[in-house]
Amino acid sequence: MTSEPTPALVCLASASPRRRDLLWQIGVAHKAVPANLDENPLPAESPHDYVERLAVEKAMTVRHRGERLPVLAADTAVVLDGVVFGKPVDRADALAMLGRLSGRVHQVLTAVALASERSVEVRVSATSVRLRELTLAEREAYWQSGEPRDKAGGYAIQGYGAVFVESLSGSYSGVVGLPLAETAELLRAAGIAVWRGSRA
């Protein structure tokens, strides 16, 4: 006898398997509906405002398409010296990004937004990450692994890129793409159950 699937409590406005895994980690059943927005920064937009705007726009876009569940969305940016590092466009871009991050501390900003019938609420997580010095050969080999191609900043802390991370101060899950403390805060405030350590 097969059990019935758990009904979705929220709609995740993302196609990211990493964000889905993190939501399951805290016991939140969900469905995924990508927003598919233009993610280019606006002129003179600060990195903080950029991630906050995109998280809200993703949530509201899916909500306005007729989604009746609360819509959760997130956006992540790697920031060095006030410059947002997006996903690398090609090999040269990835090698250059990793070269600039090498041996330095950068910030990872992740905004998470929850749009319900009543309102949209947003939180921003900021984490400092230091990468060790990376040789050109390491950066080349990492590009060949395929992992940097769709990652902000050109690396994945939850993958092979973990070997480059010397230290981290802040939210590990925020660097992966969904800060769980802030996400749980938003969900609980909206009356959505989050795992609390028991099934009671």
Active site residues: 75
CA 99 to centroid of chain Cα atoms? 22
Distance CA 19, CA 68 (A): 20
Distance, CA of 182 to CA of 126 (rounded, Å):
11
Burial 50-73 (b: 16+ CB within 10 A, else e): bbbbbbbbbbbbbbeeebebbbbb
Residue with tokens 């041996």: 103
Residue 99 is encoded by which pair of tokens? Answer: 């070269």
Rounded to whole angstroms, the Cα distance separating 133 from 121 reads 38
- Structure tokens belonging to residue 36: 């598919």
Question: Per DSSP, what are the bridge partners of residue 110?
Answer: 76, 125
